[in-house]
Amino acid sequence: MTKTWGSGLSANQLDSNQSYITAARTITETDLVNFVNATWLTEEIFTNTADPKGIALNGRVVPGALVYAYAEGLNMPFLSGVGLAFLSTEIIVKNPTYVGDTIHVEFKVIEKRLTSNPEKSIVKTENTVYKQDGTVAMIYSPVRLLKTEILKD
């Protein structure tokens, strides 16, 4: 079963038997230009539209770093008010993403444990970034420190 969410979920509200889905976001030419300029990822594959010979991919491919950053942005409602720290991640780019692609993220909890402080938990998720046609663009597995809701009897 998949849940759509829009506000932060504390660690103990995340169910390991559920998958969660974000809203979608179309990546535009303006997004590509602004991201490349802001990050200095000025490789010709992202900046040269007049002379694309020698570039392995056709079309306006976007950096994997942009896809990851946007995926994290799509996850913000999940982290709103409960995210305490980003600890690590592993990123695997499965397929190129292009200007005009619309992405969304589906994630599931793969590990969750309390810290020595019962108000905090370490949560690892597997996040899959899908394009509008169902193609997997990226898989990443962030580890985060989240608030844990203290339940009272």
What's the mean pLDDT when you consider all of the chain? 89
- Burial (CB < 10 A; 0-12, 13-18, 19+), residue 14, is buried
Q: What is the CATH architecture of 2-147?
A: Roll (3.10)
pLDDT over 90 at 55, yes or no: no
Structural domain boundaries in the chain: 2-147
46 vs 60: CA distance, rounded Å: 7
Judged by average pLDDT, the poorest of 69-83, 90-104, 135-149 is 69-83
* pTM of this prediction exceeds 0.85: yes
The pLDDT of 20-41, averaged and rounded, is 95
The torsion of the CA quartet 45, 47, 50, 53, rounded to 10 degrees, works out to -20
